[in-house]
Amino acid sequence: METLNTDISNYRNLLKHYIEIRDEQSLYGAEQLSKMFIKNNVPPEEIVNLHIQALEELYPDVPEYFRHSMNFLVEIMITYGIAYQENYSLREEQSQLKSEIAVAANMQETLLATTKPETEDLDIGVVSAPANQMSGDYYHFLEGKDNSIGIAIADVIGKGIPAALCMSMIKYSMDSLPEATMSPKTILKNLNRVVERNVDAGMFITMFYIQYLPAKNKIRYASAGHEPGFYYNAETKTFEEIKAKGLVLGVSPDADYREYERTINKGDMVVLLTDGVTECKQGDRFIETEEVLEVIEQYSDLPAQEMVNKVYKHFERMQNFQFRDDFTLLVFKKEV
C-alpha cells in the first residue's frame, strides 16, 4: 500500500479536477497513474479502494448505498484480479510453448532434410505440408552404389514433438544401414526392430518403401501398414493400386515383411502418399480415392514437381487452406 499512500493526494486531486472540469489534462494524469500502477503490479481491488478513499475525502456525505456498491465492486475486483493473473500467467506459458515449438519445427526441418536424386531415369516430385507446426509425415531418399534409388514415405501414428523425434530417429537409422540392406523387406525389418526397442508402446509408424533398379527397369517394394501406392500405366492411362501387406513398425520385434516386384516402363508413374491426402474433405464429405487419382491424372503431363504442386494447391483450396492432417504426396515417373 506504500505506492497508494504516496499517491492518494495526487489521485484525489486528479479525480476532483476531472469531476469539476472533465478536461483532457486530468485524463492524461489518470493515464500516467495507470502506467505506474501496472509497473508496480498494483492489483485492481487496491485501485478501487484508492478511489473509495479519495471520494470519501472529497465528499464525506456520499450516500450509504454508494459506499455499499463500491464495496461490492472491491469484492468483484479481488476475484477478477486473481483470475486475471492466472490467465496472464497461462498466456505467458502458451507464448513460451509456441516459441519452443517453432524452434523444434525448424530443427525438425533441418534434421529430416533429404536430397531428391537427380537422375535421367526418374522424374521425381514431392510436396509435404504439416497440418500444424510439427509434422508426423516423413519421406526420404537413399542412393545405392549400383545406381538404385530407395524411396521411403512414412506416417507416425501420433503427432507433435514426440512424432518429430521419432521421425528423426528413423531417418538416421536409415542412413546408418549398410549398402547390402537396401532391399525393401530388409530395411523395414531393421527399422521395425529400432522402433520396437526405442519408441513408446503407444506410438507406431507406417511406411512404404520402394527400391528402383535402373539396370532391370524394375521396382521392388514393401509396406509396413502404410497407405497403398498407385501405379499409372502411361499406355492404357489407368491407375492400379499397389497392394502390399505388412505390420506397422514397432508392434512386434519378429515381424517379417513381404517384398513385391514389378517392371516399370517408360512414361509410367508411381504415386505414394499419406492418409492426409486420401482423407481430404469437401464440405462434410470425405473425398474418394478415385477423385484424388483424377486430380493427379489431370496434371500428369506436367513435370513431376510441378504436378504435385498443382495437386497440393487443388486440395488446399478444397480444404479452405486448412488441412486436418499432414499432407505428403510423392510421385516419380520413368523417363527412359
* Banded model confidence at residue 108, pLDDT cuts 50, 70, 90: low
> Which has the closest alpha carbon to 209: 263, 153, 254?
153
Provide the pLDDT for residue 1.
45
Residue 230: is its pLDDT beyond 80? yes
Please give the single-letter amino acid code of residue 211: Q
In angstroms, the Cα distances linking 268 to 4, 82, 123, 286, 332 are: 80, 66, 11, 28, 9
Give mean pLDDT, residues 309-328: 86
The lowest-confidence range among 52-56, 209-213, 219-223 is 52-56
The helix or strand, by DSSP H or E, that contains position 233, with its residue range, turns out to be strand 229-233
> Which has the closest alpha carbon to 329: 212, 179, 155?
155
Count of CB atoms within 10 A of residue 5's CB?
A: 10
Q: What does the pLDDT look like over 55-96, one tens digit per residue?
A: 888 888 888 888 888 888 888 888 888 888 888 888 888 887
Would you state the cell numbers that stand for residue 150, as one nine-digit string? Answer: 530407395
Domain annotation for the chain: domains and CATH numbers: 2-92 (1.10.1240.30), 114-334 (3.60.40.10)
Provide the pLDDT for residue 260.
96
Q: What does the pLDDT look like over 254-295, one tens digit per residue?
A: 899 999 999 999 999 999 999 888 888 777 788 888 999 999
Provide the pLDDT for residue 5.
53
Would you state the cell numbers that stand for residue 78, as one nine-digit string? Answer: 479481488
Residue 323: is its pLDDT beyond 70? yes
Residue 321: is its pLDDT beyond 70? no
Q: What does the pLDDT look like over 174-191, one tens digit per residue?
A: 888 776 567 999 999 999
Would you state the cell numbers that stand for residue 265, as one nine-digit string? Answer: 516402363
Distance CA(165)–CA(248), nearest Å, equals 18
* Banded model confidence at residue 4, pLDDT cuts 50, 70, 90: very low
Provide the pLDDT for residue 314.
92
